[in-house]
A and B are shown apart, each in its own frame.
Chain A
């Protein structure tokens, strides 16, 4: 009998140890932060600009703030690293993650009102400098839905990197064929006929997600900024009315001229094959962001290939908007070191940080930054100097509606229009229906 008792005791002890091991993780973490040195948890997305710049910035901040230990979590799929921890109540102090990502973690935080008010960061003095954040911030980047998601005058997200969007093309291809760079959609479609005669498709897109910037620019081109904001607010007439119909027809007719293989490759596994069509002179234009040049830098290309970049053609000549992507940085409401987190964000706008980021190709929205760009970057960022107007913001934060997703409907269904499964008017009806459901 004694032996049995011993066995039972051993089994119990083993299982208790197992359970204790599961729970010990959080305990030891709490102990270490209670000492005099503070640990700032920074979570950043490793975007197309790489991770070296972030590491340099974090090191600079640590050097300027003795006693502060900065723990950097940087990942290409940041959501899958931080969101399980967040669900368990372990929040990072600073998160650099933009809206518009497929996993929509930032949008979820907005919808659940989980962000700290950062309005006072603009009045903070940049650490190590005499200027305030608001002194160096480029105009046009605050005061939009992208930084004030509830449109209540309070800033919840600060702008980080920005990049103009538009159509990329092979400048040599256009020059050799004597085709002028189209400024309006009519000119673009006319060019499509000429290209078709040469066996070149007019258009392609990496995945439907890349059509967002083109959509935003076109909406503003069609009806101006007021109309753009109405559309972003899920206004029924904005999508169902005259301007809406014009938008659906323009895009619908354009994507029907896409290269035949576009839809089959418009997924995360194969989207580079669509980008390759531009390098191979098999398609003329594609919407993309400035990172594409570094993403495709090792890819084979047609002889004499040279990247060209233009704003999305407008509906009237000399009236174009170029949508600006920008990434945001924010602080979760449940972060432990909010004051330090705000100081870190203020540091993002320092000369030191801007230079570090520029080395990785990331451009901060601070004044005079364009003077420091290299030649290739200048061709992209000069699109605004050539007459295109800055456009920022995206869909308003709406209450989550089960089973309804505006971007899936507005952009995702474009594949069905491209391969002819859905008509343009069906697409419009679906979008109007989604807008109606989200507005209620």
Chain B
């Protein structure tokens, strides 16, 4: 290739990449950087006067018990939703791909339905289920109790309410991850299972020594999805269902950030929370990726 052709080639590459890079800079890079920049200011959100205060917002944040509680709630939700959903989704996926029975397709659809529903609909459904007097849950429990039984305050008990939120999140997430695992499991060659069963491996043994290792890469990828989607969906569900209440006991990262940035006129402080969420989700995903790293098995 002579010099002229080389130059033409590099100009072409630059021009071809330019649109993507320009759009990426405007819509991704610039907003993220301005969040970082705004977190260093005391600013109400509308006024012209921004006061540079360095890292003072982060110092306040480390002492703000309400923020720490919202962080605890988020972490609890991430752990609970990930562990429980992962377990159920894997088992259901294995059953639906390995076991042949009537209505496999129907079950696949039924499991996936919650994922299509809007979070607002889910919050309405679970508000009805958790209703203390006429709700589905308390009505079932009332069978085992005396008629004077008051019922469990699923959304009114401050120690219980975060688990009520977690259950709704798990319910809506299982189908989505199940479908992902199913597609990974479907590509495992049937002869592996055949030879394993000839060698006398039980179904359980096959699950742990064939299915799990061969879907490991998909599982690792979904761990990152779990972190991101729990942070996002918990905000939507909490906003629609409990409003962060009673008394802040279901406040999560983003709902607290929204409250500080908009309701409390502390926009800079809200952006500081945004920075923490950004760093936290990146770090957590990186840690999860690092500790789940295994040799990839090929079939």
Interface residues of A (CB under 8 A from B): 1, 4-5, 7-8, 11-12, 14-15, 18-19, 79, 83, 86-87, 102-105, 107-109, 111-114, 207-208, 260-270, 273, 400-405, 408, 412-416, 419, 421-422
Q: How far is the CA of A105 from the CA of B131 in the complex (A)?
A: 32
Contact assessment for A1 and B124 in the assembled complex, using a CB-CB cutoff below 8 Å: no
Residue on B with the closest CB to A413? B247
Question: Known contacts A109-B46, A112-B47, A400-B266: does B19 contact A267 (CB below 8 Å)?
Answer: no
B46 contacts across to A, CB distance below 8 A: 86-87, 108-109, 112, 114
Q: How far is the CA of A111 from the CA of B47 in the complex (A)?
A: 9
B245 contacts across to A, CB distance below 8 A: 207-208, 266-267, 412, 415
Query: Taking the complex as formed, is B253 at the interface, i.e. its CB lies under 8 A from any CB of chain A?
Result: no
B interface residues, how many (CB within 8 angstroms): 51
Which of B22, B45, B157, B247 contacts A87, CB < 8 Å? B45
Map CB proximity to A onto B231-266 as digits: 1 under 8 Å, 0 otherwise.
Answer: 000000000111101111000000000011011111
A400 contacts across to B, CB distance below 8 A: 44, 264-266
B263 contacts across to A, CB distance below 8 A: 102-104, 405
Contact assessment for B155 and A267 in the assembled complex, using a CB-CB cutoff below 8 Å: yes
A267 contacts across to B, CB distance below 8 A: 155, 241-243, 245
Chain A: minimal CB distance from B31 (Å)? 13
Contact assessment for B246 and A114 in the assembled complex, using a CB-CB cutoff below 8 Å: no
Residue on A with the closest CB to B45? A108
Contact assessment for B158 and A104 in the assembled complex, using a CB-CB cutoff below 8 Å: no
Query: Taking the complex as formed, is B215 at the interface, i.e. its CB lies under 8 A from any CB of chain A?
Result: no
Contacting A at CB under 8 A, from B146-180, are: 150, 153-158
Which of B66, B67, B150, B260 contacts A260, CB < 8 Å? B150
B64 contacts across to A, CB distance below 8 A: 402-403
Which of B66, B123, B262 contacts A103, CB < 8 Å? B262
Residue on B with the closest CB to A209? B243
Which of A19, A105, A260, A269 contacts B123, CB < 8 Å? A269
Q: How far is the CA of A402 from the CA of B269 in the complex (A)?
A: 6
Query: Taking the complex as formed, is B213 at the interface, i.e. its CB lies under 8 A from any CB of chain A?
Result: no
Residue on A with the closest CB to B239? A268
Contact sample, A vs B, 13 pairs, CB 8 Å cutoff = A7-B16, A15-B19, A261-B132, A263-B246, A269-B124, A400-B266, A402-B42, A402-B64, A402-B260, A402-B264, A403-B264, A412-B247, A421-B158
Question: Known contacts A412-B248, A413-B247: does B132 contact A402 (CB below 8 Å)?
Answer: no
Q: How far is the CA of A30 from the CA of B105 in the complex (A)?
A: 56
Q: How far is the CA of A19 from the CA of B24 in the complex (A)?
A: 12
Contact assessment for A104 and B264 in the assembled complex, using a CB-CB cutoff below 8 Å: yes
Contact assessment for A416 and B262 in the assembled complex, using a CB-CB cutoff below 8 Å: no
Q: How far is the CA of A419 from the CA of B157 in the complex (A)?
A: 7
Which of A15, A102, A207, A268 contacts B23, CB < 8 Å? A15
Contact assessment for A112 and B156 in the assembled complex, using a CB-CB cutoff below 8 Å: no
Query: Taking the complex as formed, is B15 at the interface, i.e. its CB lies under 8 A from any CB of chain A?
Result: yes
Contact assessment for A104 and B262 in the assembled complex, using a CB-CB cutoff below 8 Å: yes
Which of A87, A270, A403, A416 contacts B158, CB < 8 Å? A416
Q: Is the interface of A mostly helix, strand, loop or mixed?
A: helix
Q: How far is the CA of A264 from the CA of B262 in the complex (A)?
A: 25
Contact assessment for B60 and A403 in the assembled complex, using a CB-CB cutoff below 8 Å: yes
Which of B26, B247, B264 contacts A415, CB < 8 Å? B247
Which of B22, B133, B266 contacts A15, CB < 8 Å? B22
Contact assessment for B22 and A264 in the assembled complex, using a CB-CB cutoff below 8 Å: no
Residue on A with the closest CB to B153? A264
B226 contacts across to A, CB distance below 8 A: none
Q: How far is the CA of A416 from the CA of B246 in the complex (A)?
A: 7
Chain B: minimal CB distance from A375 (Å)? 34
Question: Known contacts A264-B153, A269-B240, A421-B247: does B44 contact A108 (CB below 8 Å)?
Answer: yes
Residue on B with the closest CB to A86? B46
B49 contacts across to A, CB distance below 8 A: 112
Query: Taking the complex as formed, is B130 at the interface, i.e. its CB lies under 8 A from any CB of chain A?
Result: yes
Contact assessment for B127 and A415 in the assembled complex, using a CB-CB cutoff below 8 Å: no
Chain B: minimal CB distance from A358 (Å)? 32
Chain B: minimal CB distance from A266 (Å)? 7
Q: How far is the CA of A401 from the CA of B248 in the complex (A)?
A: 18
Q: How far is the CA of A102 from the CA of B239 in the complex (A)?
A: 12
Question: Known contacts A104-B264, A412-B247, A419-B158: does B19 contact A264 (CB below 8 Å)?
Answer: no
Residue on B with the closest CB to A407? B263
Contact assessment for B8 and A1 in the assembled complex, using a CB-CB cutoff below 8 Å: yes
A421 contacts across to B, CB distance below 8 A: 158, 247
Which of A109, A261, A269, A402 contacts B60, CB < 8 Å? A402
Interface centre among B16, B18, B46, B132 (most CB of A within 10 A): B46
Residue on B with the closest CB to A4? B12
Kindly list the 3 A-B residue pairs having the minimum CB-CB distance in the complex, ordered from nearest: A264-B156, A112-B47, A15-B19
Contact assessment for B47 and A273 in the assembled complex, using a CB-CB cutoff below 8 Å: no
Q: How far is the CA of A191 from the CA of B247 in the complex (A)?
A: 28
B22 contacts across to A, CB distance below 8 A: 15, 19
Query: Taking the complex as formed, is B82 at the interface, i.e. its CB lies under 8 A from any CB of chain A?
Result: no
Interface centre among B19, B42, B246 (most CB of A within 10 A): B246
Contact assessment for A12 and B19 in the assembled complex, using a CB-CB cutoff below 8 Å: yes
B74 contacts across to A, CB distance below 8 A: none
Contact assessment for A264 and B158 in the assembled complex, using a CB-CB cutoff below 8 Å: no
Question: Known contacts A402-B269, A403-B66: does B153 contact A261 (CB below 8 Å)?
Answer: yes
